[in-house]
Amino acid sequence: MPDPSTPSPRRTHFDRAAATYEAAAHTQRAVAEELSSSLDVRLAPRTLLEFGCGTGLFTRMLARRFPDARIFAWDPSRGMIDEARRRAAADPACVRVEWSTACPDVCCDGLVSCSSLHWMRPLAATLAGWRRRCAPGGWLAVAAMGAGTFAELRAAYAAAAPDRASPAPLPAESEYRAALAAGGWETVSFSAENRTEIHPDARAFLDAIRRLGVTGAPYAGGGRPLSRAQWRRLLDYYDAHFPAPGGGVRATLRVIRIFSRPV
């Protein structure tokens, strides 16, 4: 039976983006910093398991936040794990981190995931799998993206290629809540807010999400490639319909924050 923690998008996109991810991850970095600082140091976990660690951006923050914790950091992308190891090599706090492309079969005091859960399907099965890895009295802290993320791109895609399926939306807040309950979690806190990124133009925005490894994913238009003419229409539509107040174009990200305890 496949591990329910395994993301569905093709891993090659993330392998290729490993070297460019952190330079492009402006919102993801801010979200990681906020999630890390929100975790009370009095939680004092002896062990932490991170799902979808990517290049270790959030992992390095966790290692400094909880200097006594042993951290298991998992990502299915070999390229991301190799980059995470490279970046952590000079960080003494990361000596307690174990990196792996196979999800560790361990029970930990704290389970965490930052900017990754939205890739994992089905949500309820994923969260149930995480529940089995939570030690008694443990907790789950997540930041993920939700429905409304890249709404501008979905609209531009639909306008440029009405004969193609538009990029799939990310899970709505109600889906996250239902999946948590079905997966065996009691929601302690749940919040959602929009973040806006500004890019010079639509082409620059698409290049930024390519450097994140997002292109090719279902909610970024990862189906049959558009023709050159359709791409031109998409870029023109985006530039015309989603200008930022001070110049450039805007891109919305809907950030979901969750803190839960096992039922």
* pLDDT tens profile 71-99: 999 999 999 999 999 999 989 999 999 99
pLDDT for the residue numbered 191: 98
Residue 4 pLDDT exceeds 80: no
Q: Give phi and psi for 71, each to the nearest 5.
A: -115, 130
* pLDDT single digits (tens) 38-68: 999 999 999 999 999 999 999 999 999 999 9
* pLDDT single digits (tens) 29-45: 999 999 999 999 999 99
pTM of the model: 0.92
Cα separation, 64 vs 106, whole angstroms: 22
Residue 110 pLDDT exceeds 90: yes
Cα separation, 83 vs 199, whole angstroms: 26
Mean pLDDT of 141-146: 98
pLDDT bucket at 1, cuts 50 / 70 / 90: very low
As a whole-number percent, the residues of the chain with pLDDT over 70 amount to 93
The CATH number given to 11-149+169-198+253-262 is 3.40.50.150
As a whole-number percent, the residues of the chain with pLDDT over 90 amount to 87
pLDDT for the residue numbered 13: 85
Mean pLDDT of 112-118: 97
pLDDT for the residue numbered 176: 98
Residue 179: is it exposed, middle or buried by C-beta count within 10 angstroms (0-12/13-18/19+)?
Answer: buried
pLDDT for the residue numbered 11: 65
Domain boundary assignment for the chain: 11-149+169-198+253-262
Number of residues written out for the chain: 263
Residue 169 pLDDT exceeds 90: no
